[in-house]
Amino acid sequence: MKTTENTVSDVLEDKKYKYGFKTLIESDTFAKGLNEDVVRAISKKKNEPQFMLDFRLKAYAKWLTMKPPQWPNVHYPPVDFQDLSYYSAPKPKKKLESLDEVDPELLRTFEKLGIPLDEQKKLSNVAVDAVFDSVSVATTHKKKLMEVGIIFCPISEAIQEYPELIEEYMGSVVPVGDNFYAALNSAVFTDGSFVYIPPDTISPMELSTYFRINTEETGQFERTLIICADNSYVSYLEGCTAPQFDTNQLHAAVVELVTMDNAEIKYSTVQNWYAGDMETGKGGIYNFVTKRGKCVGDNSKISWTQVETGSAITWKYPSCILMGDNSVGEFYSVALTNGYMQADTGTKMIHIGKNTRSSIISKGISADHSSNSYRGQVKVNKGAANARNYSQCDSMLVGDKCSAHTFPYIESANSSVQLEHEASTSKISEEQLFYFEQRGISRENAITAVINGFCKEVFKQLPMEFAVEAQKLLTLKLENSVG
Amino acid sequence: MLEVKDLRAGFEGSEIIKGISLSIKAGEVHAIMGPNGSGKSTLAKVLAGHPSYEVTGGEVIYNGENLLEIEPEQRALKGIFMGFQYPVEIPGVNNAEFLRMAYNARQINEGKEELDPLDFDDILTEKMKMLSMEKKYRERNLNDGFSGGEKKKNEILQMAILQPKLAVLDETDSGLDIDALRVVSDGVNKIKSADNALILITHYQRLLEYIQPDYVHVLSQGIIVKSGEKDLALELEAQGYDWLTPTN
């Protein structure tokens, strides 16, 4: 196993959350509180067209009538939405013409996170959009992508440059009033990424967004919209971290994916938000995210792969609406909880078109005092003849104070469908680790091997660099929880 | 090679080994026999450094070092191998990859080059052949769903690959049919040399027909009640353990 070489020293080095630092940078932050004026102010700050302001106001009006969902299997004191700031941006000295003019402190921050943005060091095969608090600070490889007609830019820029695409597709997958947090996001989102892959185009590189929450009392509400036109393909990666604070920060993102005929989007996430203090559970990110893809075209495919390792509370169900005939939805997930983390995560597969297929592979690992729930819905509409779903939910328990739960919901209105569900629970034991040690294999490498074995069906879906990163992350998090 | 002096050890507060002394030199084979619950497996686990067992007295010197202060992983890297009585199943971890991890851990420790899967495959193929193990066991998950006999063979396969200095085989013969016992014993005999030593823990004399011990020790209620040469094993077979039980 190639991964065993570099893990030991890394593991020893970063026992703690290594992304917990805060960048001291001058920022332009709104006063706390939310009302219609704040929504208008955000739109004005961004110089948005009327349709965008209308979208926001409609969402805000909806939001006022809604309540936070109570059904997830997570427990936390109510969030005071008036005690948050809804806009925070690093203060630019003047309008930026190129990356050279970005505050060096910001570039250093991203470099510290392993995301070099400047021209010399940038990752050669990955284009990155870096989002700092509410604002996209830099997008790399833009020109190269433009040559093949791919648009990859901050969503605030897309609203200016490509308003017709935004107006048509934003909210087409996740309507403004879809749920409490999606409505909130629709009202106050400040930035995020926009991708458009033109027909007959395979993206020549991986596209990636890196989210960083820096300010203590700012909510991060980013919005991602990816459109893949006929016969096109893109692989998209998302990574996230936040500094360590004693208070909780809210992250309520919306991600919408659209695929046309024969198009495919592969969306991968490695999420490592600060999860709160390991001993007390204090602080950490509330990750309340709505991610959904719509296979509009025939033979199209949307594949979600997520490795969730952080956040105090996770509430997230990347889903697929399979409208086009023969379209395919996939969900591969590893969700790790430790300390006092609570996760309620899973997926929804809605079968509408004929011969639609979906598969769900969910691996939950819970350690310490954490609670880990899988919640999944497979829904087959009347017209979805010959739809098929395969679901597999495996849980691994580490220690005896944690818990794992599975809530599968299956609904079918068509008799020609084929649905399968499998589930298992296992435990990583001291006896297993001793066996490795007796053969001269270190504890860290033993944990890595067992966890990789448990998660391999998911890891093999991740792009290479991400898979290595994800393996290291899991080992690191579990090291102190086993034995 | 190994000096055990008045060793006392137990499990969850109860003392199981109550003062054992042993002296083992390179090239020797020692058999430790005794009835169930006499402390045989505890001795093996203490030598390997199992965290659930507590040493309450005495010392163990291995090649001049205080073994009891060395972490289990380091003990293994220093050449101590334990053949488990009940090898644990590890789903998801490929047997061949596990063997290579173990092999490479030792290579790194000795400052030698790690082997890639192709080079390692040559070694693995040869050793598996020696133990008449079917090829499919390399791609199976570690001990996962192996029969009792295959698990034991897999232990000896690991021993053949790691070439330990001191191997402690804990009831390797149990669960083996007569053909498998012969294959496993032949394998152990081939690994045995003037440079390494072997501790065979067994309940029955049967194994010792195939692997000739230099010394036999009889363990009962946590102490060695009798030591002798290989004839002692035959005596035990004929008379049972009762005549050796210490008087309380």
Per-residue pLDDT of A193-251, as tens digits, reads: 899 999 999 998 888 887 666 665 566 788 999 999 999 999 998 876 655 666 677 88
pLDDT(B246) > 90: no
- The DSSP secondary structure of B106-132, one letter per residue, reads HHHHTTPPPPPHHHHHHHHHHHHHHTT
- pLDDT digit string, tens, across residues B100-116: 999 999 999 999 999 99
CB A231 within 8 A of CB A199: yes
Nearest residue, CB atoms, B158 vs list A439, A452, A453: A439
Measured between beta carbons, the chain B residues lying within 8 angstroms of A483 are 51
Tell me the nearest-neighbour CA distance from B118 into chain A, angstroms. 12
Find which of A6, A428, A438 to mutate to test the B interface (most B CBs within 10 Å of its CB).
Answer: A438
Nearest-CA distance A437 → chain B (Å): 4
Nearest CA in chain A to B46: A438
* A23 part of contact set with chain B, CB < 8 Å: no
Residue A4 touches partner B, C-beta closer than 8 Å: yes
Hey, where are the domains in chain A?
Answer: 25-91+153-434
Whether chain B has a CB inside 8 Å of the CB on A77: the answer is no
Identity of residue A423: A
Chain A: give the shortest CA distance to residue B103, in Å: 8
- Separation between Cα atoms, residue B96 and residue B123, nearest integer Å: 11
Whether chain B has a CB inside 8 Å of the CB on A434: the answer is yes
From first to last of its 483 residues, chain A has per-residue pLDDT tens of: 333 333 333 333 344 566 666 666 666 777 788 899 999 999 998 899 999 999 999 999 999 999 998 888 888 888 888 888 887 766 654 444 555 556 666 666 666 666 666 555 555 566 777 766 656 666 777 788 889 999 998 898 999 999 999 999 999 999 999 999 999 999 999 888 899 999 999 998 888 887 666 665 566 788 999 999 999 999 998 876 655 666 677 888 999 999 999 999 999 988 777 777 877 778 788 889 999 999 999 999 999 999 888 788 899 999 999 999 999 999 999 998 888 889 999 999 999 999 999 999 999 999 888 999 999 999 999 999 999 999 999 999 887 888 899 999 999 999 999 999 998 888 888 889 999 999 999 988 888 888 888 898 898 888 777 787 788 778 777 776 665
Q: CA of B96: which chain A residue's CA is closest?
A: A1
CB contact under 8 A, A449 and B84: no
> With an 8 Å Cβ cutoff, are A453 and B141 in contact?
yes
Residue B79, both tokens: 């050449």
Distance to chain B for A5, nearest Cα, Å: 10
Q: For residues B197 and B47, what is the distance between their CA atoms, to the nearest angstrom? A: 14
Q: A360 - beta bridge partners?
A: A331, A391
Q: Which residues of chain B are within 8 Å of residue A452 when distances are taken between CB atoms? A: 92
Residue A359 pairs with which residues in a beta bridge? A330, A390
Distance of CA A316 to the CA centre of its chain: 8
Rounded to whole angstroms, the Cα distance separating B224 from B199 reads 14
Residue in B12, B74, B93 to test binding to A, most A beta-carbons within 10 Å: B93
Q: Given CB atoms, is A392 within the 8 Å cutoff of chain B?
A: no
Instruction: Delineate the domains of chain B, giving CATH numbers in brackets.
Output: 2-244 (3.40.50.300)
